[in-house]
Amino acid sequence: MGAQWKHAGKAGASAAKGAKTHKLTKEIMVAAKLGDPHPENNPRLRAAVEAARKQSVPKDTIERAIKKGAGLLDDGVQYEMVTFEGFTPHRVPIIVECLTENRNRTSSEIRALFRQGSMGAIGSVTWMFDHLGVIEATHENKALDIEEVAIEAGAQNVEPLEKAEMTASQVGARFFCEPTDLDTVNKFLTKAGWVITTSEMSYIAKNQTEITAEQRKEIEEFLGEVDEFDDVHRIYVALK
């Protein structure tokens, strides 16, 4: 859980499909806002669009999300990324990324959600995390050595993907790189035949907090409440 926290209950059931679609379109908006609004020139956006298509998100919904993020709609609404940091109950460091058109409203809501934990000033928690580019990709050549690929691509580190995230004939890897190298690594992997499924900036905890089972339940309830807030895009927790 040292990277992005994911709500365990949002993975499958029909009740979670709307929430998943919302998260997918929000990632499209973020990718379009932070980079080129054309997927062919923006690996993060390309990966976000592909993920949305795999979940049967309608084409017009995807296109509208791109235009929203890039500020190309005539509705006068401008979205911005806002980051909050602090601690969950039992003092586990947390970073929350939000996409909002009203910073004051979002700040007020997040502050209220943090009543069970504690809000921190800017920089009070981020130093406990590494801010890295993260790319998840698969390749049809299962014999590839992912460590050699990482070195050639210019990535700092690499780890294998879980078997559930690929077919039996594929090799899958999660590549970590400096933020400024994200585009370079993306281009290398794409040219080398890798299919990129995730390409984004992420906060990786330098150290993870050990907790009891009882504390975990309380913390996950807190995280679930934060995650339910529509403006929340990503949650990063230094939690095992």
Q: In terms of residue numbers, what domain contains 194?
A: 130-204
End-to-end CA distance of the chain: 5
- Mark whether 197 and 215 lie in a shared domain: no
Supply the CATH number for residue 175's domain. Answer: 3.30.70.980
Q: Are 208 and 238 in contact (CB under 8 A)?
A: yes
Distance CA(64)–CA(21), nearest Å, equals: 13
- Mark whether 124 and 157 lie in a shared domain: no
Distance CA(184)–CA(153), nearest Å, equals: 8
- Mark whether 40 and 104 lie in a shared domain: no
pLDDT tens for the chain, 240 residues: list them.
445 665 443 333 334 556 678 888 888 998 898 888 998 888 888 888 988 888 889 999 999 999 988 888 877 678 888 999 999 999 999 999 998 889 999 999 999 999 999 999 999 999 999 999 999 999 999 999 999 999 999 999 999 998 877 788 899 999 999 988 998 999 999 999 999 888 888 999 999 999 999 999 999 999 999 999 989 989 999 987
Q: For 201, what's the count of Cα atoms within 13 Å in the CB-facing half-sphere?
A: 16
Domain tally, the chain: 3
The amino acid present at 58, given as its one-letter code, is P
